């Protein structure tokens, strides 16, 4: 069975603790379920027409996501 977990994040390292706990519990219980992990964050784009038309998803992520978060996520993802 596939389960979906929705994690609200502010792209801090602490928000990855939930993911680590889920993975530890999965391994401890020999859980055969698959998990879809969804990280959700909010961002105020403002109301400028220029910003709304020409801002890309990658530029927003570049502003709010730290390199430490990306590195920690990569380490967890590769386990």
Contact 70, 39 (CB under 8 A): no
Q: Residues near 46 by Cβ (< 8 Å), separated by ≥ 6?
A: 52
DSSP summary character for residue 26: H
| Residue 4 pLDDT level (bands cut at 50, 70, 90) | very high
pLDDT of 69 reads 93
The pLDDT of residue 77 is above 90: no
pLDDT of 41 reads 92
- Decide: helix, strand or coil at residue 3: strand
Structure confidence by residue, pLDDT tens digits, 13-58: 998 998 899 889 888 998 888 889 999 998 888 889 998 899 898 9
Planar angle of CA 77, 20, 26, nearest 5 degrees: 90
Domain ranges of the chain: 2-77
The pLDDT of residue 79 is above 80: no
């Amino acid at each position: 069975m596939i389960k979906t977990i929705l994690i609200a994040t502010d792209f801090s390292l602490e928000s990855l603790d939930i993911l680590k706990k889920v993975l530890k519990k999965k391994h401890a219980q020999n859980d055969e379920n698959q998990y879809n992990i969804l990280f959700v964050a909010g961002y105020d784009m403002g109301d400028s027409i220029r910003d709304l038309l020409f801002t890309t998803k990658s530029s927003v992520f570049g502003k709010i996501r730290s390199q430490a978060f990306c590195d920690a996520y990569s380490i967890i993802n590769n386990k």
